[in-house]
Amino acid sequence: MQFSKNNSYREYFIERFGIGNEIEKYDFYEFAQSVWAYSGEYYEDKKIEVMGIRALRIKKVYKPTTAFLRIIGRYATKNVISLSSNDGMKFLKGENIDGVCGNTRGYVVVKSGSDVLGCGLCAGKLMSQIPKKYRIGETWL
């Protein structure tokens, strides 16, 4: 599998979320309609399956991943939505939240207190983009 380096994707995180120097510690690699953020040294091997953390999915527009926003989202200065504790739990269950987006549109970093919960999509209401594997169960604390 061939991962090819392309650090121009840093610009997305700088422009969309106002992330500063923290983004510089990652190199970005393209592979199979995804962009991967990697903080290690370059390593060449023909059998690479994963390189760092998937940061973006390349669709019509770039879609940031919850996993990478959970690392980098604490440095975001714009397009951030902060939820109450109750709404945060609903968001983590995959539920949509009304009345929190205001004029914001598009993908956002969703926080609750000091926790970065992941990726949301503001399209009138806040639509949870938490992948099923990260959603919390009804009986979870």
Partner 1 sequence: MNIEDYRDMIPDFEKFVARMNEPQPYWLRVNTLKITEDELIHRLEDKGFVLERFAGMNAYRIKNMPVKHPGATVEHSLGYYYVQDFSSMVPALLLSPSPGELVLDMAAAPGSKTTLLAELMKNTGTIVANDVSDNRIKALAANIERLGVSNAVITKGDATSRRFGAKFDKILLDAPCTGEGTYRKNQKERMPNLSDHIRMSKIQKNMLKNAERHLKEGGILVYSTCTFNPLENEEVVQYGVEKLGLKIENVELAIPHDKGVSSWRERSFEKVSDKMIRIYPHRIDTGGMVIAVLKK
Interface with partner 1 by CB under 8 A: which residues?
26, 37-41, 43-54, 67, 70-71, 89, 92, 115-117, 133-137, 139-141
> Least distance (Å) from partner 1 to the CB of residue 71?
5
Separation of alpha carbons 54 and 58, rounded Å:
11
With respect to partner 1, which residue has the nearer C-beta, 117 or 122? 117
Q: If you ran DSSP here, which 8-state letter would residue 62 be given? A: E
> Least distance (Å) from partner 1 to the CB of residue 3?
9
Q: Any bridge partners for residue 120, and if so which?
A: 108, 128
With respect to partner 1, which residue has the nearer C-beta, 8 or 85? 85
> Least distance (Å) from partner 1 to the CB of residue 51?
5
> Least distance (Å) from partner 1 to the CB of residue 102?
25
End-to-end Cα distance, the chain:
40
With respect to partner 1, which residue has the nearer C-beta, 10 or 106? 10
Contact 37, 52 (CB under 8 A): yes
Closest CA to 91 of 54, 126, 133, 55: 126
With respect to partner 1, which residue has the nearer C-beta, 103 or 139? 139
Separation of alpha carbons 122 and 78, rounded Å:
13
